[in-house]
Amino acid sequence: MTAPLFPLFADLRDRSVLVVGGGAVAERKVEALLHAGALPVVGSPDLTDALQTWRETGRIRWRAGEFHEGWLGEAWLVIAATDNVAVNRAVASAANARRILANVVDDAELSSFHVPAIVQRGPLQVAISSGGGAPMLARHLRRQLETLFDDSLGTLAELLARNRDRIRARFPDLGLRRRFFETLLAGPLPRLLRQRLDSEQADEYLQTVLEAATTTQATGSVVLVGAGPGDPGLVTLNALRAMNEADVILHDRLVSAEVLRLARRDATRIEVGKSANGHSARQEEIHALMLEHTRAGKRVVRLKGGDPFVFGRGGEELEFLRAHAIPYEVVPGITAAVACAAYAGIPLTHRDHAQSLRLVTAHCKDSLDTLDWNALAQKKQTLAVYMGVAGLEKVRERLLLAGVAPGLPFALVENGSRPQQRVVAGTLATLPETAHHHQVQSPALLILGEVAALADTLHWFGAAPLAAPPLPASSQHPDHLRTPTLPLAAQAA
Ligand code: SAH
């Protein structure tokens, strides 16, 4: 990718800008320049009626004749708006030689600055650029934004500009000022302005809010936020708000880059990823970080994959916060079982196949040994096994011992909801071998139960489920597995 353009808004008031060309396009450019308070100098053999009028009323100056370099004299910027490619080229290269930025209308290549598509509301301007490569897309977006922003935004921008010094004086500290603005903009003011509060009433309203606001250092707080499984579309509005108000974001490794991108740009991001071993030490570090940053008055977002209360140790973190009297909130997220099932086309419950759902973790030997396998072996239920990739052998062994049929369908959903999602399906009999064959990696969620077989017909996201490989003659399974395995493998093939 070539480097992107550097966006800027130029102050052209009382600055001379040369426009080469005297036709309709030049006229539009001159109009925009006049709007920005610039002093346009138009160079061309002749002028449109409007340009002529502006010349007569002294709003622009006219250099009559063919372009020559001398015209560039006092210009800060140049716009070449002729229909003659050779002239436009000459203007661009002369401007370049003098280090004057030049825009050649409809020629991104020759231009050293581009003029964006804009949406304007009072002093507020939203500029859109596609880098010159897709101006139609920029225009399309502009039209969409036009419908999103109503006129009251301009009034709001004017109100804030008018009261800028007042607000600064009340909140000299940047952090406190930012919080004040967040509260103000999240409050009723925008709505009141839409309902046509006049500017005097708006000033009064702002004054009242300013007087009522506390100006002391706010206490820090923690929002425990569930980031969902990876697809940024699955982040809740509350999570988005918290991420946009955060000073510090402590996130797990599991949180996708796409989701992190939604957070406030200047929030400090700290990855506190846990490894499978020695994670208790890590947990203490996380607690220490929460303490440190909240003591400094920061708003901390503790961002976790999925839901914070489903195998996320969110409970322990809240206990810690409570013990240290740190205020907190919890924003639930879409947990992996729910997301992976949806994105694999597996209804977790189904009147014909499953009446209950169990969320289980199988991340280490201990947790596997303490599970009630008889309860897990019950019919008509779905098991969603988290962190199970390493324990698949054990899961099969225990379930078979507890009497589960080797033909029970499973689906392993790797990177659920993300573009690289893969679903591997088969039956319990060959679960570890199938996973191994497809090299299923973490994060992956194991769904066991009759419903898992529905992925074959109901899948809709990404590729179809990958099936078990045909069994080699010298199957390495324990003998007691071999008998039921063969017909089932045939069924899966
Ligand atoms: N709190 C999280 C779970 C944390 S445990 C939640 O509610 O989802 C981590 C395990 O979650 C992983 O080992 C994996 O089993 C599962 N997981 C999380 N995100 C996943 C994803 N996008 N695809 C598949 N499994 C995922």
Parse the chain into domains and list their residue ranges.
16-115, 152-212, 221-334, 338-469
Residue with tokens 């419950």: 349
> Mind listing the pLDDT tens digit for each residue in 79-110?
999 999 999 999 999 999 999 999 999 899 99
pTM of the model: 0.71
| Atom in ligand 1 nearest the alpha carbon of residue 385 | 15
Mean pLDDT along residues 206-227: 86
Structural domain 221-334, CATH architecture: 3-Layer(aba) Sandwich (3.40)
| Greater pLDDT, 175 or 43 | 43
| Greater pLDDT, 217 or 453 | 453
Which of 255, 259, 311 has most ligand 1 atoms within 8 Å of its beta carbon, as the pocket-test mutant? Answer: 311
Q: Across all residues in the chain, what is the average pLDDT?
A: 90
Say how far apart CA 426 and CA 483 lie, in whole Å.
Answer: 16
| Greater pLDDT, 216 or 63 | 63
Provide CB contacts within 8 A for 135, sequence distance 6+.
117
Residue with tokens 């949406």: 119
Count helices and strands in the chain by DSSP H and E runs: 20, 17
Give the Å distances, CA to CA, from 237 to 44, 64, 178, 277, 389: 55, 59, 20, 34, 32
- Coil, helix or strand for 15? coil
Is 369 designated active site?
no
Determine what percent of the chain is predicted with pLDDT higher than 70: 92
- Coil, helix or strand for 92? helix
Q: Is the pLDDT of residue 27 over 70?
A: yes
Identify the pLDDT of residue 489: 40
Q: Is the pLDDT of residue 221 over 90?
A: yes
Is 304 designated active site?
no
Task: Identify the CATH class of 338-469.
Answer: alpha beta
CA of 260 relative to ligand 1 center, distance in Å: 17
Among residues 413, 408, 399, the alpha carbon closest in space to that of 445 is found at: 413
Q: Is the pLDDT of residue 228 over 60?
A: yes
> Mind listing the pLDDT tens digit for each residue in 317-334?
999 999 999 999 999 999
CA of 449 relative to ligand 1 center, distance in Å: 19
CATH number of 16-115: 3.40.50.720
CA of 220 relative to ligand 1 center, distance in Å: 29
Q: How confident is the model at residue 474 (pLDDT cuts 50, 70, 90)?
A: low
Q: Is the pLDDT of residue 315 over 50?
A: yes
Burial of 165 (0-12, 13-18, 19+ CB in 10 A): exposed
> Mind listing the pLDDT tens digit for each residue in 338-388?
999 999 999 999 999 999 999 999 876 677 888 999 999 999 999 999 998
User: From the candidates 29, 231, 247, 252, which is the catalytic residue?
Assistant: 252
Identify the pLDDT of residue 483: 40
Q: Is the pLDDT of residue 450 over 50?
A: yes
Domains 16-115 and 221-334 share a fold: no
Identify the pLDDT of residue 29: 97
Identify the pLDDT of residue 491: 41
Q: Is the pLDDT of residue 276 over 80?
A: no
